[in-house]
Chain A
Amino acid sequence: MVPLPPAIETELRRHCEEEYPHEACGALIGTGDGENQPWRVEEIRRAPNAHGDDHARRYLIPPAFQLHVEKYARQIGREVIGFYHSHPDHKADPSEYDRTHAWAGYLYLICSVRDRKSAEFRTLALAPTGFFVDVLPSR
């Protein structure tokens, strides 16, 4: 698992709890690429959930938000290294929908929320096989 600085973990959990029973989503800003350099999350940015109808089970990050956060990250010499979202009342395991919509090269963080309390989270990346693997602290 990619370690999160405590303040960022607290903020991420709070966001996921606030959106419950809907899915929370946002961008992970930091450094690294998961290959030559391990990922390091230094900041998160909350995104609105732009999915049309089913906010309890789906998220979609608005492209305009991505553009904005990409610009911001570049300005402070960082990168958008990945995205996070919550699974209300489900385990932090990626869904088939997560997998088919994922991009290799991004870090994906999934946080489980049960009864408005955030639970376990996983950090994942898409392997060349097209399936998710957990990211080890060294990656």
Chain B
Amino acid sequence: MKVKILIPTPLRRFVEGAKSVEVEAATVEAALAALGQRNADLRKQIFDDAGHLRNFVNVFLGDRNARELGASLAEVPVRDGDVLVLIPAIAGGTPEVKLSREEILRYSRHLIIPEVTIEGQKRLKASKVLCIGAGGLGSPLTLYLAAAGVGRIGVVDFDTVDLTNIQRQILYSTGDVGRPKVEAARERLEALNPNIEIVTHSIHLASWNVMDLFGAYDIIADGTDNFPTRYLVNDACVLLRKPNVYGSIFRFEGQISVFDAARGPCYRCLFPEPPPPGLVPSCAEGGVLGVLPGIIGSLQALEVLKLILGVGEPLIGRFVVFDALDFKFRELSIAKNKECAVCGASPTVTAPVDYEAFCQVRGAESEADLGQASLISVEELHQRRDAGEKFRLLDVREPHERKIVSIPDSIHTPFDELLSRLHEFDSADQFVVYCHKTGRSLDAWRLLRKAGFGNAYVLSGGVDAWAQRIDPTLPRY
């Protein structure tokens, strides 16, 4: 049989520059052997010492890889006029990551674990992890990732360090109060491990910047404390096919999971809609036990390292709730939702969107629908009370908050009890409602207005503003 063999560029120098060679043969193997006989160097290029076609050389018969056409090339017959195409394998890659002597010593407790070894440590060094939020969860997360030698750690946070953060955000020291978080975080992490790169992003995460930012990282770790960002992070991770290592905390309870839409459900499969505004308080409103974010953030760091190393069972399709008071880890199985708006069969979310409106963050929305006339400043209240005007000053906070600080001559009814105790009040009186800042007092004001209390005001900034501007001897929290 007369067969034509097309010669790829790198092999033509062995056949006087010919683009193709014609040989007589009955099988693919015989055809290649006939080609090899024309030049000993060419034979060495395509056959190994045992006479087999090297595995980095492919041969196509028509459109089919000849290796797939028979158990061996000797069993693949050729017909008159067939065309064989030699295809050299093309591969390569980035230079190896190297560990210095200092790094080998530093990571020695990793290197001796059979599941990590020097190969795993190099993977850690070559990986890029973005941490959203440098707060309670972000603190242990970034500290452990930096200590473990993750080569590039991105930190997103727009805040400055506040004294109320220090109780749980172990990235910062008391001396850092007032500094931008990313600046203080960089200093701490670089001091911890000078072999890695810390990239700081002092930005508000938004639909217009999230894709570019996430695109440059392998894994995203979400340690945010608000729903708009959580949904934005989830959607961007699904769209970019990046795993999202999720953690969240509230008072004595923590949650953790790994959302990877390519291998399991996403956050929206579990929670298609955010909760109604105001139902879930933030740490500032609800409080959190200082050590709890330390536990959940450390577990997030663990899951990140497992994903990079490819060891163990990642927390994909599993949602773990940690109850610190009972000391119970409850594991829930979660499935992918075929109807999911972002990772389902026919998604309606195909680009990141900003969720402020969707999640209706309390505050921005509520202040807007509140007439200026119903807000009273701490200064105005102080002056008018001094001038002898009568106000029923109503504190709607919890009893334990009232023990920290309260405004003199105020009455107390926690918001949850307000509705059932309205009969205790006279709707003809002039009311000023206050809470810690302004959140719950707005809800209380609405409730009073609906119940026919026409003379009700909200104390703008709450007891916190009073302690700052009227009586600085009072404690703040």
Which of A's residues lie within 8 Å of B, judged by CB? 20-21, 23, 25, 33, 35, 51, 54, 56-61, 63-64, 66-67, 70, 79-83, 85, 87-91, 93-98, 101-106, 108, 115-116
Contact = CB atoms under 8 A, between A and B. Distances in A.
B399 to A, nearest CB: 52
B9 A85 contact: no
Nearest to B56: A101
B95 A87 contact: yes
Nearest to B95: A95
A102 B58 CA distance: 15
A71 to B, nearest CB: 8
Contacts of A98: 92-93
Contacts of B93: 23, 51, 54, 57-59, 85, 95, 97-98
Nearest to A71: B85
Given A21-B218, A70-B6, A60 B87 contact: no
A23 to B, nearest CB: 7
B62 to A, nearest CB: 9
Interface of B: 6, 8-13, 17, 56, 58, 60, 63, 65, 85, 87-96, 126-128, 152, 212, 215-218
A56 B218 contact: yes
Contacts, number: 111
Contacts of B91: 51, 58-61, 97, 101
Nearest to B60: A67
B65 A116 contact: no
B366 to A, nearest CB: 39
23 contacts: A20-B216, A33-B12, A56-B126, A66-B58, A66-B87, A67-B87, A70-B8, A70-B85, A90-B94, A90-B95, A91-B95, A95-B95, A97-B96, A98-B93, A101-B56, A101-B90, A101-B91, A102-B92, A105-B10, A105-B12, A105-B13, A108-B92, A116-B216
B151 to A, nearest CB: 9
Given A70-B6, A116-B212, A63 B89 contact: yes
Nearest to A117: B216
B126 A80 contact: no
Interface majority SS (helix, strand, loop, mixed), chain B? mixed
Contact of B96 (A25, A66, A81, A95): A95
A131 to B, nearest CB: 14
Nearest to B13: A105
A18 B95 CA distance: 20
Given A88-B94, A95-B93, A104 B10 contact: yes
Contacts of A91: 95
Contacts of A116: 212, 215-216
Contacts of B217: 21
A63 B85 CA distance: 11
Given A21-B218, A64-B65, A93 B12 contact: no
Given A20-B215, A101-B56, A83 B95 contact: no
Contacts of A81: 9
Contacts of B6: 70
Nearest to B14: A105
Contacts of A58: 91-94
A80 B9 CA distance: 7
B219 to A, nearest CB: 11
Contacts of B95: 87, 90-91, 93, 95-97
Contacts of A88: 94
Contact of A80 (B8, B11, B63, B65): B8
B8 A60 contact: no
Nearest to B63: A67
Given A57-B93, A98-B93, A116-B216, A106 B9 contact: yes
Contacts of A94: 92
A29 B93 CA distance: 21
Given A67-B63, A80-B9, A95-B96, A61 B218 contact: no
Query: Which of B65, B95, B127, B217 has most chain A Cβ within 10 Å?
Result: B95
Nearest to A22: B218
Given A33-B9, A63-B58, A67-B85, A97 B215 contact: no
A103 B9 CA distance: 9
A70 B218 contact: no
B19 to A, nearest CB: 8
Contact of A60 (B17, B60, B63, B89): B89
The 9 closest A-B pairs by CB, nearest first: A105-B10, A103-B10, A98-B92, A95-B95, A58-B93, A63-B58, A61-B90, A60-B91, A101-B91
Given A56-B126, A108-B92, 9 more contacts: A20-B216, A25-B92, A51-B91, A56-B94, A80-B9, A83-B90, A97-B92, A101-B56, A104-B13
A93 B92 CA distance: 12
Contacts of B215: 20-21, 116
Contacts of B63: 67
B196 to A, nearest CB: 13
A61 B58 CA distance: 12
B46 to A, nearest CB: 11
A66 B58 CA distance: 10
A21 B89 contact: no
A28 B216 CA distance: 26
